[in-house]
Amino acid sequence: MRVGDALDYVRETASPDVVETLDAVITAGFGVRLERGGKGESFGNVLVELERPPVALRLTKDRGQWTMDIDPDGRGFQALHVLLTAKTGDGPWLEERSLGDPIPKQWPPGVAWRTAVPALLKWLSEADRTDSIRTAHEQWVRVMRQRYGPGVQ
């Protein structure tokens, strides 16, 4: 795979919101540190990691769903929904859907990445958010365990 193939694939297949977010973070100085997958992968899966130290972003398409994780400080990635919970102070939410319902094309549903991601990056840069993120992560684990069982990490 040549460098840029996965990025090109994202631009060809993702929603406008995902593409605009990707372009915005690249314009803001994030560079590609890893890319794999794309057209040749099963389900069209793709993973792209970008970084502007100390922050890293991971954009993933897995089985048709786009997700983003952010590593604020080199200590590990956190899912976008966990970081949104940490920033807003709102509790975790779970969509109501039946097992057979299709999954949302972009997670979390109803969140415009093009505005949420830059706002999160600004919020993360303003102070040490470790405690807020840890609390939000613990809240999400509790909610997920209630819904799906004790194996959720």
pLDDT of residue 97: 73
- Provide long-range contacts, Cβ within 8 A and 24+ apart, for 143-150: 143/91, 143/92, 143/94, 144/94, 147/94
95-134 tens-digit pLDDT: 777 778 888 899 999 999 999 999 999 999 999 999 999 9
1-11 tens-digit pLDDT: 455 788 889 99
Work out the percent of the chain whose per-residue pLDDT is above 70.
95
Residue type, 45: N
pLDDT of residue 4: 75
Question: Is the predicted pLDDT of residue 152 greater than 70, yes or no?
Answer: no
Confidence of residue 89 (pLDDT cuts 50, 70, 90): very high
pLDDT of residue 153: 66
- This prediction has a pTM of 0.90
In this prediction, residues 71-96 reach a mean pLDDT of: 92
pLDDT of residue 148: 76
Average pLDDT, the chain: 90
Ranges of each domain in the chain: 5-90+102-148
Whether the ω angle into residue 54 lies within 30 degrees of 0, i.e. cis, is yes
Residue 70 and residue 124 in contact, taking contact as beta carbons nearer than 8 Å: yes
24-46 tens-digit pLDDT: 999 999 999 999 987 777 667 89
